[in-house]
Amino acid sequence: MADPKERVQSIIQKLKGSGHKITPQRLAIAKILADSKGHPSVEAIYDQISGDFPTMSLATVYRNILLLKSLGEVLELGFPDGSNRYDGNRPIPHPHVICIQCGKIVDPDLESLEEMKAEVANDTRFTILAHRLDFFGICHQCQAGEK
């Protein structure tokens, strides 16, 4: 996991470099995304900071996330039901493990990933640019019946 403080700095630089203002809302959203604990949804980010910014709408949070995504600073994990989640700590594609009971999402450290990419490239003769690799299961807490 990248240092959340360094990630926030990198996001700020990217915003400034592309001519965007660093508003307090934008900074608060960037901080949560840089930490990315559990890969939050737009709603989860909104819930966390709406107390500090009572006039801010859910749409504002969404627009800011889209902006950071367009700058390559946030990775979007899309799901067919539209419950998208976001990772601003590691904005480049990486595998995820998703709990189907509580919705927790974590980043596994896979030593075999590079090998897997080479194997896919070899097998298909594609030049691999990105990947989407999700594992679904039941997390430790849910297995223990804690929630």
Residue with tokens 């601003």: 88
> Nearest approach, Cβ of 21 to Zn ion (angstroms)?
28
Contacts of 19-27 with CB under 8 Å at 24 or more apart are 20/67, 24/53, 25/49, 25/53, 25/56, 25/60, 25/61, 25/64, 26/64
- Which H/E stretch holds residue 99? strand 96-99
Contact 100, 119 (CB under 8 A): no
Binding test (CB under 5 A) with Zn ion, winner from 29, 32, 65, 99: 99
Nearer to Zn ion, 50 or 97 (CB): 97
- At 100, is the secondary structure helix, strand, or coil? coil
From 10-18, 22-30, 52-60, 80-88, give the range in contact with Zn ion by CB under 5 A.
80-88
The yes or no reply on residue 142 touching Zn ion (CB under 5 A) is: yes
Question: Among 10, 40, 8, which residue's Cα sits nearest to residue 106?
Answer: 40
Binding test (CB under 5 A) with Zn ion, winner from 43, 78, 101, 137: 101
Rounded-to-integer distance, Cα 86 and Cα 33, Å: 7
Nearer to Zn ion, 71 or 77 (CB): 77
From 18-26, 58-66, 84-92, 110-118, give the range in contact with Zn ion by CB under 5 A.
84-92
From 11-19, 22-30, 62-70, 133-141, give the range in contact with Zn ion by CB under 5 A.
133-141
The yes or no reply on residue 139 touching Zn ion (CB under 5 A) is: yes
Residues that bind Zn ion (CB under 5 A): 87, 99, 101-102, 104, 107, 139, 142
